[in-house]
Amino acid sequence: MMGETNPADSQPGSIRGDLCVSIGRNIIHGSDTLVNAQREIALWFKAEEFVAYAPCAQAFLYE
């Protein structure tokens, strides 16, 4: 969905393939590990800002 880090290597239909033009100015970010994701999220959000969310259709989609 995101595409390769280098937009030139990304497939058409991916976010980076369709909307990005350079590596340094990516339109989307994805962390490479869970530990890095937790560290990066903590840079921008406080624990009390997170909420639990379940779509109303979840009961119909999952057992």
pLDDT tens digits for 38-52? 999 999 999 999 999
pTM (2 d.p.): 0.58
54 catalytic? Reply is no
pLDDT digits (tens, 9 = 90+) for 5-54: 899 999 999 999 999 988 888 788 889 899 999 999 999 999 999 999 98
| 5 vs 20: CA distance, rounded Å | 10
Q: What pLDDT does 45 receive?
A: 95
Determine which one of 29, 48, 55, 61 is catalytic. 29
Long-range contacts of 29-35 (CB under 8 A, 24+ apart): 30/2
